[in-house]
Amino acid sequence: MGWPRPDPLDEAYLLLAYRSGRWGTRSPLVEEFEREFARYHDAKHGIAVTSGTAGLMLAYLAAGLRPGDKVAVPAYTFIATASAAVIWRGVPVFVDVDPQTLNMDPADLERVIEKHKDVKLIVPVHFAGIPAEMDEITKIAGERGASVIEDAAQAHGSAYRGRKVGAIGDAGSFSFQLSKLMAAGEGGIVVTNRDDVHEVVWSLHHVGRRPGGEWYEHPRLGWNFRMTEFQAAVLLSQLRRLDKTLSTLRRNWRVVVEGLERVDGIEVLEPPKHVDWNCYFTYIKIPEAVERGVELKLRFVKAVRERGVSLVEGYVEPLYRQLALRDPYWGLPGELYEGLRLKCTEEACSSVAWLPHYELLTDSEARLERIVAAVREAAGEVLN
Ligand SMILES: Cc1ncc(COP(=O)(O)O)c(C=O)c1O
């Protein structure tokens, strides 16, 4: 997929880590990265971990998730948002999404919470790097005494009403998996402004140790979810150029979207004006596929890809239809998901494809024109 791209500064940092001989276990570049990433994201603390999934798992536990608690998640998200709760025997309950942002719809969250009064955690996902409606979501959570954990796996550098995402709620988790805007192969970080959450997540990711404690002293049960020095090395380098990456993405996004707006049969879903987003995915909607079904979207995506542009089909089924949730081992109440149909989620699955950020990260105007041309040609072939 041509991502991540090699960079001389990444190489220099990697060599620094290699030569230091300090390759893991709370090593210097890991601690520097935690401080700098947290500061960049308007957060007091950062705890670097092995993946975005691990970050969610630890943040949920630190926020007080206990067996049987309900966790409100959007139905249009990666399974980790829900499975990170199920592993602690939490019970995901699904919220429909806003048709424009495909993020948790606060109005539907109200409905879900009215029905499931025991929701303990609310997990907005800043999907595609577009910040969720945090003002409304944190207000609802406050009224119900629920915690808010942000799934910011895709949202490096995104901001909601001028404030970077991640630590607007109680805590948030970012991913550095291969396809992300900041990528270390694998990796993640939990950010928070809460000292108590920081202390617990730090301990959980470090085998239950306590800051300043003895090596073989474990006041709580924890696991090894620590990031290595090599991951921190490339991530520090990528963080140094994140502003530049974002400004290239946002500029090129505008160019591509102006072209796509003239293509018949598709619609670009533009994020609202009060957010700064990182263009992780540009949503291209095929409105006709809402009626005609997902096959039309798949044919359109194939036609674009045949023209050398890596459009992604995205989700084709809502999360609540994944077989994993029916595995009896996890004991989830089947009636919560059986026959569930959330309108905007269903429509997004049928009709929305994703143009990834790495397609927009180019210095070549000709390449941007090629993206628009590929979409236009595919639309002409498949949609008319
Ligand atoms: C929305 C969302 N949540 C969670 C994750 C999990 O992150 P990771 O793959 O680093 O475990 C991902 C990443 O793939 C994601 O896209």
Q: Report CA(373)–ligand 1 centroid distance (Å).
A: 31
User: Which domains are seen in the chain, by residue range?
Assistant: 8-240 (3.40.640.10), 242-382 (3.90.1150.10)
- In this structure, the residue with its CA closest to atom 7 of ligand 1 is 52
Ligand 1 centroid distance, CA of 240 (Å): 23
Q: What is the mean pLDDT of residues 77-91?
A: 98
Chain segment 281-320, per-residue pLDDT in tens? 999 999 999 999 999 999 999 999 999 999 999 999 999 9
Residue 335, pLDDT above cutoff 70: yes
- Ligand 1 pocket test target in 1, 56, 58, 175 with most atoms within 8 Å of CB: 175
**Per-residue pLDDT tens over the stretch 276-288:** 999 999 999 999 9
Which is the closest atom of ligand 1 to the Cα of 55? Answer: 11
Atom of ligand 1 nearest to the CA of 154: 16
Query: With 70 as the cut, is the pLDDT of residue 1 above it?
Result: no
Atom of ligand 1 nearest to the CA of 179: 14
Pocket test for ligand 1, best of 51, 58, 78 (most atoms within 8 A of CB): 78
**Residue-wise pLDDT tens digits, 154-185:** 999 999 999 999 999 999 999 999 999 999 99
- Asked whether residue 384 carries a pLDDT value surpassing 80, the answer given is no
Rounded distance from Cα 88 to ligand 1 centre (Å): 18
- Protein residue closest via CA to atom 8 of ligand 1: 52
Four-point Cα dihedral 214, 219, 222, 223, nearest 10: 20
Which protein residues touch ligand 1 with a CB less than 6 Å away? 51-53, 77-78, 80-81, 125, 151, 153-154, 175, 177, 188
Q: What is the pLDDT of residues 86-119, one digit of tens each?
A: 999 999 999 999 999 999 999 999 999 999 989 9
What is residue 29's predicted lDDT score, i.e. its pLDDT? 98
pLDDT digits (tens, 9 = 90+) for 220-233: 999 999 999 999 99
Choose the residue to mutate in 71, 97, 104, 177 for probing ligand 1, maximizing ligand atoms within 8 Å of C-beta: 177
Q: What is the 3-state secondary structure (H, E, C) of the chain?
A: CCCCCCCHHHHHHHHHHHHHCCCCCCCHHHHHHHHHHHHHCCCCEEEEECCHHHHHHHHHHHCCCCCCCEEEEECCCCCHHHHHHHCCCCEEEEECECCCCCCECHHHHHHHHHHCCCEEEECCECHHHCCCCHHHHHHHHHHHCCEEEEECCCCCCCEECCEECCCCCCEEEEECCCCCCCCCCCCEEEEECCHHHHHHHHHHHECCCCCCCCCCCCCCCCCECECCHHHHHHHHHHHHCHHHHHHHHHHHHHHHHHHHCCCCCCEEECCCCCEECCCCEEEEECCHHHHHCHHHHHHHHHHHHHCCCCCECCCCCCHHHCHHHHCHHHCCCHHHCCCCCCHHHHHHHHHEEEEEHHHHCCCCHHHHHHHHHHHHHHHHHHCC
Distance 174 CA to ligand 1 centre (A): 8
CA atoms within 13 A on the CB side of 141: 23
Percent over 90 (pLDDT), the chain: 99
Residue 2 pLDDT exceeds 90: no
Residue type, 63: A
- Distance between CA atoms of residues 255 and 234, nearest Å: 30
Question: Mean pLDDT over residues 30-43, rounded?
Answer: 98
At residue 51 the predicted structure's pLDDT band, cuts being 50, 70 and 90, is very high
Atom 1, ligand 1: which residue's CA is nearest?
A: 78
Cα 366 to averaged position of ligand 1 atoms, centre (Å): 32
